[in-house]
Amino acid sequence: MLYNAEFALQRINGELLLLELGDNPRELYEPLRYILGLGGKRLRPMLTLLACSMFSEDFTKALKPALAIEVFHNFSLIHDDIMDQALVRRGKPTVHEKWDIPTAILSGDVALVEAYKLMIQVEDNLKMKAFSLFSQVAKEVCEGQQMDMLFEKKEKVSVAEYMEMIRLKTAVLLGFSLQIGGLVGGSTDSDAEKLKSFGQNIGLAFQIKDDYLDSFGDGPKVGKTIGGDIRVNKKTFLFTKSLEIGNSEASKRLLELYSKEDNSDQKVHEVLEIYKHLNIKEECEKEIFNLYNQSISNLIGIKADMHKTARLRRFADELMERVS
């Protein structure tokens, strides 16, 4: 079956609704069905199917690992929301808010089990490799989340530390989504590694773009209040880069502002003024551009039809052209 993005998305959403998750106790499975039903772009499973289509005419053979990745992603969201004490996810109450924390923890746990059950349904010759790669990614995502939590209590975070955290927390799953899709489609290990690197680099660029938009985006277009990260003292690329290149006076003032629980507009204004003084907007744009170029270079030499490879380049372009 030839790849069609609209059909692929419809197929993913349909298959998620049909997952045999279990019914008893109802309180264990309802929260999982709830969060899976909240929608979203289904970015990761879509990339899995897209990567498979580069090497196989039947992209649907990658449906099970694509579903596994989406279920795993939602497992991480359930637990992340608990740790962040988030009240809303995709415009709806978070799982722990709608039910309670113990129920959310257990539902997240069963989501992880279901993800492994789906991943192991790849072809026999790939079972051990898929299981091993998936387990490593799951471990790294947890490491990234722990690092993110530790950063909340840490006064200074270096750019290198921040980049490693977002690589683990966000980018490795994007990379794996493409890697496993390629392998299921029949790619060589070498080409699958290139897809993985493409995904990780574009994932890093995506996260830094998200940081950038929080401070320099158009609020209504972005769909968030500008300065949200600043209000909660979140260590972003902008914050870490400012400490790296700023003079002692600017760094000292930035650390003072981030040492207080203050979500005022005045605080946001002052931090943004520091960013502007240090040309952090330009530093962000430069880093995003470099990561984008690295991701595109990862596609060179992949043994697939150039028109199919171009789909990934278009995906990267669309990601980088998000509203600003």
- The H-assigned helical ranges of the chain are 5-17, 26-36, 43-53, 63-84, 95-98, 101-119, 127-153, 159-166, 172-185, 189-216, 219-222, 228-231, 237-245, 248-258, 265-277, 280-297, 306-320
Tokens of 5: 């993005």
As a whole number of angstroms, the distance between CA 145 and CA 287 comes to: 23
Whether the upstream peptide bond of residue 25 has omega within 30° of 0, thus cis, is yes
Question: Considering the domain boundaries, does residue 159 fall inside one?
Answer: no
DSSP codes of every residue in 57-96 = S-GGGGHHHHHHHHHHHHHHHHHHHHHHT--EETTEE-HH
Identify the H or E element spanning 157.
none
Domain encompassing residue 264? 188-324
Whether 133 and 193 map to the same domain: the answer is no
> Would residue 290 count as lying in a domain?
yes
128-133 mean pLDDT: 97
Query: Both 194 and 73 in a single domain?
Result: no
Cα separation, 106 vs 27, whole angstroms: 9
What sign does the dihedral 299-305-311-317 (CA atoms) show? positive
Are both 107 and 193 inside the same structural domain?
Answer: no
* Mean pLDDT value across residues 304-316: 89
% residues pLDDT > 90 (the chain): 84
pLDDT in tens, 170-196: 999 999 999 999 999 999 999 999 999
84, 205: one domain: no
Task: Assess whether 118 and 230 both reside in one domain.
Answer: no
Q: Is residue 175 included in any domain, yes or no?
A: no
Domain count for the chain, please give it: 2
Statement: residue 80 has pLDDT above 70: yes
Q: Are residues 10 and 101 in the same domain?
A: yes
The residue among 138, 168, 198 that closes a domain is 138
CB 57 within 8 A of CB 1: yes
Does residue 211 form part of some domain?
Answer: yes
DSSP state of 171: I
In a domain, 149, yes or no: no
Same domain, 84 and 207: no
Pair (130, 216) in one structural domain: no
pLDDT at 296 over 50: yes
Q: Is the confidence at residue 302, as pLDDT, over 90? A: yes
Within-domain flag for 306: yes
Domain assignment of residue 20, yes or no: yes
Whole-number percent of the chain with pLDDT over 70: 97
- Tell me what pLDDT residue 104 has: 96
- 131 and 220 fall within a common domain: no
pLDDT, position 324: 43
pLDDT range class, residue 224, cuts 50, 70, 90: low
CA 90 distance to own-chain centroid: 15
pLDDT of residue 199: 97
What CATH code is carried by the domain that includes residue 244?
1.10.600.10
* Amino acid letter, 74: N
279: left (phi over 0), alpha (psi -120 to 50) or beta: left
- 71, 105, 138 - which closes a domain: 138
Under 8 Å between Cβ of 107 and 95: yes
Give residue 319's pLDDT band: very low, low, confident or very high (50, 70, 90).
Answer: confident
At residue 221, does pLDDT exceed 70? no
DSSP 227-258: THHHHTT---HHHHHHHHHS-HHHHHHHHHHH
Question: Does residue 206 share a domain with residue 320?
Answer: yes
Tokens of 41: 């772009």
